[in-house]
Amino acid sequence: MRKQTFSLQGVDLSCIRDDRVLFEGLSFELRAGQVLLLEGKNASGKTSLLRILCGFREADAGQIKWCGEAINDSDYYVDMAYVGHLDGVKKELTVIENLKVSLALSQAGQYSIQQALVKVHLDDFDDALVQTLSAGQKRRLSLARLLITNKRLWILDEPFTSLDTAGIILIETLMTEHCASGGMIFLTSHHDLHLPDVDVHRILLS
């Protein structure tokens, strides 16, 4: 039986917003173990491309493929996790309640909830209401959801927002581990990535 090759492909993608062409004829491929960093000025179409990849809107032309198949004909949405520019956590719930909700909606991943909290240095805050956390702690909680669910593809919009130096190093470590285990990451970031052990590729939107 042939072993499946995991890959994300964009084929001749175009996006038009308010009668303005943000990008057209854009093609790329992201394979297991790789990071693809999306760069560009404000209003160049970075967020629009992420929304297309997540299925929030359709491309005006072109196609997205997962493992060689159109994403709607594959297990793409089962294999993909998105963390947006906003943290996407429920402030009226506790830290552990947020993670339990995420786990209930997905297949369990490599880490248990408690292991993930230790990994992101929130194990002393498991019963704390999210609304009492700092901005950096909320960001680490949003990323902890990636560790407890079994998602091969991470799509991250500015994952280093609100993080201090220690937090940035932590997230870069988690990204390196994810790629080393066969995962892949598509992200936008204004932070200069330091991932010496990862195959990093770049797309520049002008």
End-to-end CA distance of the chain: 43
- Closest residue by Cα to residue 81 from 197, 184, 200: 184
- Closest residue by Cα to residue 103 from 115, 85, 91: 115
- The SS3 call for residue 13 is strand
Dist CA 21 CA 58 (whole Å): 14
What is the pLDDT, as a whole number, of residue 54? 93
Q: What average pLDDT does this structure show over 16-41?
A: 96
Residue 168 has pLDDT above 80, yes or no: yes
Residue 1 has pLDDT above 60, yes or no: no
What is the pLDDT, as a whole number, of residue 4? 60
The reply to whether CATH 3.40.309.10 applies to domain 7-199 is no
| Verdict on whether the full-model pTM lies above 0.95 | no
Cα distances from 18 to residues 15, 43, 203, in angstroms, run 10, 12, 23
Q: 156 and 166 in contact (C-beta within 8 Å)?
A: no
- pLDDT over 90 percentage in the chain: 83
- The SS3 call for residue 29 is strand
Using pLDDT thresholds of 50, 70 and 90, give the confidence band for residue 50: very high
What is the pLDDT, as a whole number, of residue 2? 41
- The SS3 call for residue 82 is strand
- According to DSSP, the β-strands at 34-40 and 61-66 are unpaired
What is the pLDDT, as a whole number, of residue 206? 83
Residue 109 has pLDDT above 90, yes or no: no
Residue 3 has pLDDT above 70, yes or no: no
Q: 100 and 130 in contact (C-beta within 8 Å)?
A: no
Using pLDDT thresholds of 50, 70 and 90, give the confidence band for residue 87: confident
- The SS3 call for residue 22 is strand
